[in-house]
Amino acid sequence: MEKGIRISDLLGNEAKWLGKRVIVQGWVKTRRDSKAGVGFIELNDGSSLKGLQVITESGGGEYGAVLAKITTGSAILAEGVVSESPGKGQSIELRAERLHLYGGADPATYPLQKKRHSFEYLRQIGHLRPRTNTIGAAARVRSRLSFAIHQFFQERGFHYIHTPIITASDCEGAGEVFRVTTLDPARPCGEGAEDPYRGDFFAKPAFLTVSGQLQAEIYALALGKVYTFGPTFRAENSNTSRHLAEFWMVEPEMAFHDLDDNLETALAFIKYLAAAALRECPEEVEFFSRFIDPELEKRLHNAAESSFEVITYTEAVDILKKSGEPFEFPVEWGGDLQAEHERYITEKVFGKPVGIVNFPRTLKPFYMRVNEDEKTVAAMDILVPGTGEIIGGSQREERLDVLLEQMRLKGVARDDYRWYIELREFGSAPHSGFGLGFERLVQFVTGIPNIREVIPFPRTPGHAEF
């Protein structure tokens, strides 16, 4: 007899399992009893969206006693023979000859009912929501895409680099960082002293990283092609459906790559991931297309198979100005593109992923490479329908004199970036990279509208539960 069989294995290899005796273990999704005394349990073990139909017979003794206690939400074991199912909706079922109840769930208080719950409600029960179809499916897609990301880079000769989570360099030079300190805010040690950080753990200001890019650059200028994939933190004080305070970012960094090479890699990456989702998660993609976003499958095929559009920032501004759309935020050359602008371009104008390149120098951080016009930098954003910006990247400034000038213009202190400057003094080389927001990718691939549903435990302003 086979123990520890996963339901996905049974349902995916029906011919192999028919007539075999197996043990399955999981959670009861629904239970229904016919008048004739036959019971139908839908058992889910998390291996797939679909559950296994377990058939029970009314009876006395141990079997009957256990059966009487099995309710929705219970964790059980069922042992029996895999049989052909006469019913609709499944081709095989398990005729349970032995049942074991690991843990029951009182139907009066179990928070997951058979009806559809709102995402807001499910967020409050983050400890139980992975048992729902949508959150469970999102978790499986997330896992599979993580693997596909490593595959993409490893197949292409990139090395996986672990960049630090605690950092003393604030990558963008912007606010929005979380401080890391061992000082007690109630008793700030060293107050009034010359150096308020004297008693602090690192003896200087430290933060949770907002990006691994600068450290990835160090390794790209030694190992050639590298990537990071890890948690990133931004104290974004905005409540949007695509921002988290803690999110995962994928950041490749490549020596001897200019902006065109960077763009090519990013577009191949999106294509690869869309194809991987269609190939590896067909059950989930079909589910999300049916219940969350009817356009999903078409969008994924579009991203996996068709070409992408690439336009300059200046062209994007022209398109937006001529569109006649009543945007909430006005469009002027030199201003940031807002989410509504991004979505208009990728959804309404092109209907596919779009790369936007060469942004105004004043908009972007000091490390982006200055173009010949001296007004723009070699930056790129990639927008996808439904989500908007999914990737931000650039060619990095490798020329020492231009970098120093950029730092001066943007008020970035040289002392804080001594090592970054030295990389331009010793064996500098053209290089590029980008950052993909992993949760935005999962949103793109599932059609789930709010980013809080595609990460197990979302952190947003005022929320750090579980």
Stretch that binds ligand ATP, among 147-155, 199-207, 390-398, 423-431 (CB under 6 A): 390-398
Number of residues near ligand ATP (by CB under 6 A)? 14
Binding of ligand ATP by 253 (CB under 6 A): no
Select the span of 89-97, 123-131, 161-169, 432-440 touching ligand ATP (CB under 6 A): 432-440
Closest CB to ligand ATP among residues 31, 364? 364
Query: What whole-number distance in Å separates Cα of residue 271 and Cα of residue 300?
Result: 9
Only segment of 120-128, 239-247, 257-265, 344-352 that touches ligand ATP (CB under 6 A): 239-247
Whether the CB-CB separation of 80 and 24 falls below 8 Å is answered with no
458 binding ligand ATP? (CB under 6 A):
no
Separation between Cα atoms, residue 61 and residue 425, nearest integer Å = 82
Number of Cβ within 10 Å of residue 19's Cβ equals 10
Nearer to ligand ATP, 50 or 369 (CB): 369
The closest of 64, 141, 178 to 461, measured between CA atoms, is: 178
Nearer to ligand ATP (CB atom), residue 24 or residue 378: 378
Which residue in 27, 247, 272, 367 binds ligand ATP (CB under 6 A)? 247
Q: Is 342 within 8 Å of 383 (Cβ atoms)?
A: yes
Is the CB of 49 or the CB of 270 nearer to ligand ATP?
270
Should residue 170 be labelled a site residue for ligand ATP when binding is judged by CB under 6 A? Answer: no
Closest approach of ligand ATP to the CB of residue 435, in Å: 4
Spatial distance between the Cα atoms of 434 and 367, rounded to a whole number of angstroms: 13
**Residue from the set 257, 364, 440, 452 that interacts with ligand ATP by CB under 6 A:** 440
Contact call for residue 417 and ligand ATP (CB under 6 A): no
Q: If binding is defined by CB under 6 A, does position 397 make contact with ligand ATP?
A: no
Candidates 386, 437, 447, 458; binder of ligand ATP (CB under 6 A) is 437
Q: Which window, 38-46, 241-249, 367-375, 400-408, contacts ligand ATP (CB under 6 A)?
A: 241-249
Does 236 bind ligand ATP (CB under 6 A)? Our answer is yes
Taking CB under 6 A as the binding criterion, the range among 104-112, 184-192, 346-354, 384-392 that sits at the site for ligand ATP is 384-392
- In the complex, the smallest distance separating the C-beta of residue 239 from ligand ATP, rounded to whole angstroms, is 11
Residues 215-234 that bind ligand ATP (CB under 6 A): 234
Q: How far is the CB of 141 from ligand ATP (least distance, A)?
A: 17
Q: Give the burial string for 338-357 (b: 16+ CB within 10 Å, else e).
A: bbebbbbbbbeebebbbbbb
Q: Which is nearer to ligand ATP, 247 or 417 (CB)?
A: 247
Dist CA 164 CA 330 (whole Å): 39
* Secondary structure of 448-465 as H, E, C letters: CCCHHHCCCCCCECCECC
Q: Which of 141, 439, 453, 454 binds ligand ATP (CB under 6 A)?
A: 439
Q: How many CB atoms lie within 10 A of CB 145?
A: 20
Q: Near ligand ATP by CB under 6 A, which window of 59-67, 346-354, 424-432, 433-441?
A: 433-441
CA nearest neighbour of 57 among 3, 95, 28? 95
Q: Indicate the burial class of 423 (C-beta count within 10 angstroms; 0-12, 13-18, 19 or more).
A: buried
Query: Measured from the CB of residue 325, what is the shortest distance to ligand ATP in angstroms?
Result: 19
Nearer to ligand ATP among residue 353 and residue 437 (C-beta): 437
Q: Taking Cα atoms as reference points, which of 20, 22, 21, 40 lies closest to residue 31? A: 40
Tell the burial category of 108 from Cβ atoms under 10 Å away from its Cβ (0-12, 13-18, 19+). Answer: exposed
What 8-state DSSP symbol labels residue 421? H
- By the 10 Å C-beta count (0-12 exposed, 13-18 middle, 19+ buried), 385 is classed as buried
CB 20 within 8 A of CB 2: yes
CA 440, 442, 444, 450 dihedral sign is negative
243 forms part of the interface with ligand ATP (CB under 6 A): yes
Contacts with ligand ATP by CB under 6 A lie at: 234, 236, 243-244, 247, 249, 389-392, 435, 437, 439-440
